[in-house]
Structure 1
Amino acid sequence: MSNAFKREMNLSGKVLIYAVEPHSTAIAHVLRMLKRDLTAVLGIEPEFAADPRQAQIRIGLAGENDSCPAHPEAFEFRFVSDEVSVLHIVGRDELGVVYGVLAFSRKFLGIQPFWYWMDQEIKSRSEVMIPCVDYASSPRKVRYRGWFVNDEVCLIGWKPEYPPTREVWEPVFEALLRSGGNMVIPGTDLPRHGIHYELASEMGLWVTHHHAEPLGAEMFARAYPGREMSYLREPERYEQLWRQAIEEQRHRKVVWVLSFRGQGDKPFWEDDPSFDTPFKRGELIGQVMQKQYDMIREYVEDPVCCVALYGEIAELYQEGWISLPENTIRVWADNGYGKMVSRRRDDINLRIPSLPGIKDSGRHGLYIHVTFHDLQASNHLTMFAGSADFLKSELEAAFAVGASDYLILNSGNIRPHAYPLDIVSTLWNEGTIDTKEHLQSFVRSYYVSEHEALARLYHSYAEATLPYGPHPDDLAGEQYYHHPARQIIGHWLQGKEAESDRRLDWAVGAGSFEQQVKAFEQRLAPAIDKWKNWLEQCDGTLAKLGAEDRQRAEDHLRFHGELHLSGSEGFYQLCRSYAAHRLGQYPQAFVLASESLRHYRRGLDALRAAEHGKWADFYRADWLTNIASTVQNVDTLRKVLRMHGDSPDFFLWYKQYLMPETEKHIYLENTHREPLTDDDLAARLKERLFTDAGCPIDVDRK
């Protein structure tokens, strides 16, 4: 090495890159990313040199005598100098090269993993100075790590094409790779002709499967409509679907999911009730998994296989009824809220620990959620309700008992969940996290100013969430304000008020319907105050930000708080409306239902406000939380309430409460025929019937 070796390398103007050929599709993709990143920062598109001696950056696979670490996916930065300094980015394998290039972009160009999803403001520079310090990567904590892009309705509905095209999927897979992920379940039950699996493989990712779609095979009921869904009676047809899936994927990097559930993600014995004992059920599942494993080995040498210990399969396995093929990774699932215990089913919440025990040898992994959809209290549009310290505690504890071979993270629609996704990626890379340092780094990576204030908002977000139950993870996402509310409206308008609504027992117990609604009201009141306070702090910080930072904070902080506040206020006023209705005070019930509607409409306004620029229509397909459906339900409710006393002319409440006394007995009916709209009538009745504090003048709320 020359004595002229420089301590810093200067990149400016047109950078020349040499990439050793032949290179794979994954390396071609990452070179395209590097070209885009350099152009964004330096303002001039780089060129790929034909002669390595001309290049400032040389990229390629490690040679036999190379110093690159030997572990899978390793990379190194090595600086060599003669006349000028040259950076060699060397990867042990395909993904090693990919991670090396993306680490260069992050470390020296400032391109963050969620630059696309957070609308990062890329800082342009005339030159980039790079310290000439060699670097070698360390092994990641988790061997197979990635996202389950599940409940992905926003991604599905964002663009007019279905299934989603490359335009939608490429930013998803790029963010995953930049986060150190190497594995993906790209969507849920999407049409088989879609690009999602092909593109994921093309970009270098391992693909794996939903636990309801073993081996990634087509659903039996879809392939053979009308046939009896019984493996005992139709083994050849089931096995043909599995064989076809194996043949289609044999040349990809696949983590094969062994499983046997019923069609539509349910226990198979719901379609085949002859399996009426745990022994029969566990025996068949074990036999099927062994058959699947043996079939894979016909095509793939040393396949990587896993089984999701989810739902009934987890129970049967833990009770000793299922035996698994050799060396299969056992994947333990959280409850949907980040806690490593069994999932709540309706109002049954046993919270059985879901981690390997002392006697559980072999390989283990995790299936966890930072977003969830369960028709109860989950977060789908809003950020994970728990704290960064909670995620740290759960994952570090799981790693400590050996569950670190595999981690699949339910990532939802990516954009609303960037911060918790970044937390988990730090954990799957490093095995631990300093949550305070991470938060400071995250905020500084994506915002230009007011870092301390923004960090406080991200930190206090979890503190503002509504605790709906006795456990630390019983924290409400935005679905809490919508699914139970619509259930209450349906139960109410169907005339079932005399009986309890069992669907609400999980949240408020099994009292009378009136008691159930009152219990929700009592839980919601303090949540409103907390979210108002949080949003006041948020607005104070936003007022100090520049235009781009302000928009970013609107989308990734205020948006979430507004969905919580508008939802909690809407649900609270709905409960008060029912209380007035029970007392026969229909005008007051109508006003309170209209107040509920006004708040829920703010949630829709928040969705629309977040759909600016490239995000146009991003929340168009909000079909799971479905704020629009809640708005329609509440609007229907208040129209029904108006019929109690204002029908059929819809002028009676105006005459009773709003018309001047001097006019009531002398007006001519044929000059007063246009009824007020629901909104106008509600606004005027509110002014007449309610105090400044918002309480009905004649309704006892105790």
Structure 2
Amino acid sequence: MMRISLKTRIVCLQLCLTLASTLQAADKFVSFIREEGTLELVTSQQRSFSILCADEEHKGVLTAVHNLQEDFYKVADIRPALVADAKQKGSADGQNVRILIGSFDESPFIKQLVKSKKLDARELKGKNEKFIITTVKDPVEGIPGEVLLIAGSDKRGTIYGVYELSRQIGVSPWYWWADVPAERHEELYIKKGVYTDGEPAVKYRGIFINDEWPCMGGWTTERYGGFNSKMYVHVYELLLRLKANFLWPAMWSAAFYADDPMNSPLADEMGIIIGTSHHEPMARNHQEYARNRKVYGAWNYQTNKDGIDRFFREGIERMRGKEEVVTIAMRGDGDAPMGPDTDTKLLENIVKEQRRIIAEVTGKSASKTPQLWALYSEVLEYYDQGMQIPDDVMILLCDDNWGDVRRLPEPGVKRHPGGYGMYYHVDLHGAPRAYQWLNMTQIQHMWEQLYLTYAYGVDKMWILNVGDLKPNEFPTDFFLKMAWNPDAFNAGNLMDYTREFCRQQFGNEYADEAARILNLYCKYCARVTAEMLDHKTYNLQSGEFKAVADEFLALEAHAVRQFALLPENRRDAYKELILFPVQAMANLYEMYCATAMNRQLAAENDVRANVWADRVEY
């Protein structure tokens, strides 16, 4: 492992600029006007059709298909029927099937297509989370004519293909979380050809809901009664629509597994892999221990090995049979360092015992259960002191809590066989000051650090601390798109991404101006976070403070003007993603600039200080 010098970072960035390919917009296979050779889904004459998907399919795929039915209703005011049998008769019989959906490992229809050589098995067999979208003529017995085929290599591959169709007909992945209305279209056509996004570059791609009180915690408690499956179903769906597959759930006051027994099974069913955060080992939430200290004893492995081993064993027994990644090793009580007498030998023994428990409970080698060790905060020091980690365990590297990568694998040195991941922040509750209120992340900086990360071979896991999620839609969207294909982005096309994000939420007519405002907002915020800004941040005498405050006030004027021009149904999303953050920061800058004026004039015994005091209050 090595520290990254400024010179090395510059050299690596130059390499990134050379290697990164040009961002290409996703191939559009959906058209809203009739073109020669297209497949008709919805027309003025054809107002109904059916989707064929076998009952044997993964439950998570069937959930996505049901969501697709609703998405068609939002877009075109029709709700396709779901057919499980190609020969099923009635109003939704085989004559009316226009879409066939199936997974390579489960669907009998996909097996028939492979057998009849209408689908090349090599495109899907052994692939990870890949989908193929194309058109096929007379796909299976009982289905005449041409249909749209969505075939996945596995459960998530198929789900991603389903949600790609949803996105292209006009449903934003953020439709629920950011109140983005669906685009309305009277006609929907499918272009001929083969579409695929290939396989993801990073194996595990996800988010960490953290620092979730008071905002997210208060909201979900009032609306759903807590951090339960009624709320998490929306998190899981969002992640899948963004082609993510991994989640560290909220943990400040919540116990994901214990608070709602359906949280974990629902995630597994839908296709989301669950883990526990960097300080919560063995599939146990810290709150499960905090609520039961008398049961398990002190959080001290030296004095209470039996109690803690029991706690660990119960976690592995509960997750058995599910697709999860186990965090191993140990930190102090809560998100804190271990005691001063902790050494690498003790931690190595803890890991050894944890892996023994994993092997005993699962009945197979511990290496068969995915595990990670997070080098967060002081834990990196144990690694530097030579702590040994089993070859199959992933090493999760971390940024410095502010978006700058702390450590990367040393080039030319043998890679750790278990691979490397990256834990990255767009939210922090901690020293020297938190940044939690609004999005403070400039994606240009995020791209530079993440491509550096990828260039050094960190591709096993990327996980993003999103705080309470809601203020960080934009960087979350970018992070997960980049995790799928880092080579799709370079320094020259990040505004193309920003514009596409805005087009998806606000429509093509408003995308350019919205992207300009959003990009400038992030640029201005990257200078100093809201929480670290005060009346001393900028120089008042030189005019610097007024200049930066005026920039935000001008940006606010532009955002308010665009808000007034938007259709009524687009305004909620715009207010959440752009208008409120811009207004909030403009107000904050104006307040602190007025505070600086008040302090200066008061120091000079100038009565005009009272005028500026009034401005601070109002």
- Which TM-score bucket, shorter chain as reference? 0.7 to 0.9
Q: Which residue of 1 aligns with 2:291?
A: 222
Out of 6-15 and 227-236, give the one that drifted further. Answer: 6-15
Q: Which residue of 2 aligns with 1:644?
A: none
Q: Which residue of 2 aligns with 1:480?
A: 532
Q: Is the 8 A contact 1:255 1:304 kept in 2?
A: yes
Q: Which residue of 2 aligns with 1:245?
A: 315
Find out whether 1:361 has 2:415 as its counterpart. Answer: yes
Q: Deviations over 1:622-662 (max 9, x none)?
A: xxxxxxxxxxxxxxxxxxxxxxxxxxxxxxxxxxxxxxxxx
In the alignment, the residues of structure 1 paired with residue 151 and residue 475 of structure 2 have an alpha-carbon distance, to the nearest angstrom, of 31
Q: Deviations over 1:361-407 (max 9, x none)?
A: 12111011223333655542322332x22111111111010101110
Letter in 1 for 2:183: K
Deviation at 1:125, TM superposition (A): 2.6
- Alignment partner of 1:331: what SS? strand
- Alignment partner of 1:311: what SS? coil
Q: Which residue of 2 aligns with 1:321?
A: 386
Map 1:152-551 to 2 at 5 A: 152-153=212-213, 154-159=215-220, 160=222, 161-189=224-252, 190-191=254-255, 192-194=258-260, 195-219=262-286, 220-225=289-294, 227-269=297-339, 273=340, 275=341, 280-300=342-362, 301=364, 302-317=368-383, 319-341=384-406, 354-358=407-411, 359=413, 361-362=415-416, 363-374=419-430, 376=432, 378-386=434-442, 388-432=443-487, 433=489, 434-448=493-507, 449-465=509-525, 467=527, 476-481=528-533, 518=536, 522=540, 525-551=546-572
Q: Tell me: CA distance 1:526–1:284, structure 2 relative to 1, closer, same or farther (3 Å).
A: farther
In the alignment, the residues of structure 2 paired with residue 519 and residue 135 of structure 1 have an alpha-carbon distance, to the nearest angstrom, of 51
Q: Deviations over 1:403-457 (max 9, x none)?
A: 0111011122333222211211221111231312212221222222232222211
- Alignment partner of 1:216: what SS? coil
In the alignment, the residues of structure 1 paired with residue 129 and residue 361 of structure 2 have an alpha-carbon distance, to the nearest angstrom, of 24
Please tell me whether Structure 1 or Structure 2 has the larger radius of gyration of its CA atoms: 1
Q: Tell me: CA distance 1:268–1:452, structure 2 relative to 1, closer, same or farther (3 Å).
A: same
Q: Tell me: CA distance 1:466–1:251, structure 2 relative to 1, closer, same or farther (3 Å).
A: closer
Q: Which residue of 2 aligns with 1:511?
A: none
Between the two proteins, what is the percent identity of the paired residues?
23
Q: Tell me: CA distance 1:589–1:267, structure 2 relative to 1, closer, same or farther (3 Å).
A: farther
Letter in 2 for 1:207: I
Q: Is the 8 A contact 1:186 1:197 kept in 2?
A: no
Deviation at 1:519, TM superposition (A): 5.6
In the alignment, the residues of structure 2 paired with residue 127 and residue 443 of structure 1 have an alpha-carbon distance, to the nearest angstrom, of 23
In the alignment, the residues of structure 2 paired with residue 528 and residue 466 of structure 1 have an alpha-carbon distance, to the nearest angstrom, of 14
Q: Deviations over 1:549-570 (max 9, x none)?
A: 3443232112111221222333
Structure 1 gap segments, 5+ residues each: 1-5, 342-353, 468-475, 486-516, 599-702
Letter in 1 for 2:165: F
Q: Tell me: CA distance 1:231–1:221, structure 2 relative to 1, closer, same or farther (3 Å).
A: farther
Out of 213-222 and 303-312, give the one that drifted further. Answer: 213-222
- Alignment partner of 2:531: what SS? helix
In the alignment, the residues of structure 2 paired with residue 183 and residue 443 of structure 1 have an alpha-carbon distance, to the nearest angstrom, of 25
- Alignment partner of 1:325: what SS? coil
Q: Which residue of 1 aligns with 2:579?
A: 558
In the alignment, the residues of structure 2 paired with residue 193 and residue 466 of structure 1 have an alpha-carbon distance, to the nearest angstrom, of 37
Q: Is the 8 A contact 2:337 2:378 kept in 1?
A: yes
Find out whether 1:49 has 2:83 as its counterpart. Answer: yes
In the alignment, the residues of structure 2 paired with residue 466 and residue 284 of structure 1 have an alpha-carbon distance, to the nearest angstrom, of 41
Q: Tell me: CA distance 1:123–1:558, structure 2 relative to 1, closer, same or farther (3 Å).
A: closer
Q: Is the 8 A contact 2:500 2:511 kept in 1?
A: no
In the alignment, the residues of structure 2 paired with residue 118 and residue 222 of structure 1 have an alpha-carbon distance, to the nearest angstrom, of 34
Q: Tell me: CA distance 1:465–1:526, structure 2 relative to 1, closer, same or farther (3 Å).
A: farther
Deviation at 1:155, TM superposition (A): 2.4
- Alignment partner of 1:56: what SS? strand
In the alignment, the residues of structure 2 paired with residue 315 and residue 526 of structure 1 have an alpha-carbon distance, to the nearest angstrom, of 43
Q: Deviations over 1:441-496 (max 9, x none)?
A: 212222222322222112212332363xxxxxxxx222224xxx6xxxxxxxxxxx
Q: Which residue of 1 aligns with 2:189?
A: 129
Deviation at 1:104, TM superposition (A): 1.9
Out of 576-585 and 285-294, give the one that drifted further. Answer: 576-585
Letter in 2 for 1:565: A
Letter in 1 for 2:54: V
In the alignment, the residues of structure 1 paired with residue 60 and residue 84 of structure 2 have an alpha-carbon distance, to the nearest angstrom, of 20
In the alignment, the residues of structure 1 paired with residue 346 and residue 205 of structure 2 have an alpha-carbon distance, to the nearest angstrom, of 30
In the alignment, the residues of structure 2 paired with residue 28 and residue 381 of structure 1 have an alpha-carbon distance, to the nearest angstrom, of 37
Q: Which has the bigger relative contact order, CA under 8 A and spacing at least 6? A: 2
In the alignment, the residues of structure 2 paired with residue 579 and residue 237 of structure 1 have an alpha-carbon distance, to the nearest angstrom, of 60
In the alignment, the residues of structure 1 paired with residue 520 and residue 205 of structure 2 have an alpha-carbon distance, to the nearest angstrom, of 29
Q: Is the 8 A contact 2:331 2:338 kept in 1?
A: yes
Deviation at 1:307, TM superposition (A): 1.0
Q: Is the 8 A contact 2:148 2:190 kept in 1?
A: no
Q: Which residue of 2 aligns with 1:9?
A: 39
In the alignment, the residues of structure 1 paired with residue 173 and residue 388 of structure 2 have an alpha-carbon distance, to the nearest angstrom, of 40
Deviation at 1:233, TM superposition (A): 1.0
Q: Tell me: CA distance 1:466–1:213, structure 2 relative to 1, closer, same or farther (3 Å).
A: closer
Letter in 2 for 1:288: I
Deviation at 1:11, TM superposition (A): 1.3
Deviation at 1:42, TM superposition (A): 2.2
Q: Tell me: CA distance 1:150–1:199, structure 2 relative to 1, closer, same or farther (3 Å).
A: farther
Deviation at 1:255, TM superposition (A): 0.9
Q: Which residue of 2 aligns with 1:92?
A: 153
Q: Tell me: CA distance 1:477–1:548, structure 2 relative to 1, closer, same or farther (3 Å).
A: farther
Q: Is the 8 A contact 1:41 1:125 kept in 2?
A: yes
Deviation at 1:24, TM superposition (A): 3.1
Deviation at 1:98, TM superposition (A): 1.1
Q: Which residue of 1 aligns with 2:589?
A: 568
Letter in 1 for 2:388: S
Letter in 1 for 2:181: E
- Alignment partner of 1:438: what SS? helix
- Alignment partner of 1:411: what SS? strand
Letter in 2 for 1:383: N
Number of equivalenced pairs? 527
Q: Is the 8 A contact 2:344 2:387 kept in 1?
A: yes
Q: Deviations over 1:37-67 (max 9, x none)?
A: 1111221222112432513222222156462
Find out whether 1:104 has 2:170 as its counterpart. Answer: no
Deviation at 1:526, TM superposition (A): 4.2
- Alignment partner of 1:324: what SS? coil
Q: Tell me: CA distance 1:229–1:588, structure 2 relative to 1, closer, same or farther (3 Å).
A: farther
Q: Tell me: CA distance 1:286–1:178, structure 2 relative to 1, closer, same or farther (3 Å).
A: same
In the alignment, the residues of structure 2 paired with residue 39 and residue 218 of structure 1 have an alpha-carbon distance, to the nearest angstrom, of 40
- Alignment partner of 2:397: what SS? strand
TM, length-normalised to structure 1: 0.70
Root-mean-square deviation (CA), in Å? 2.6
In the alignment, the residues of structure 1 paired with residue 514 and residue 180 of structure 2 have an alpha-carbon distance, to the nearest angstrom, of 15
In the alignment, the residues of structure 2 paired with residue 435 and residue 377 of structure 1 have an alpha-carbon distance, to the nearest angstrom, of 29
Q: Is the 8 A contact 1:180 1:429 kept in 2?
A: yes
Out of 393-402 and 74-83, give the one that drifted further. Answer: 74-83
Q: Is the 8 A contact 1:184 1:200 kept in 2?
A: no
In the alignment, the residues of structure 2 paired with residue 156 and residue 557 of structure 1 have an alpha-carbon distance, to the nearest angstrom, of 23
Which of 197, 202, 206 does residue 146 from structure 1 map onto? 206
In the alignment, the residues of structure 2 paired with residue 370 and residue 591 of structure 1 have an alpha-carbon distance, to the nearest angstrom, of 37
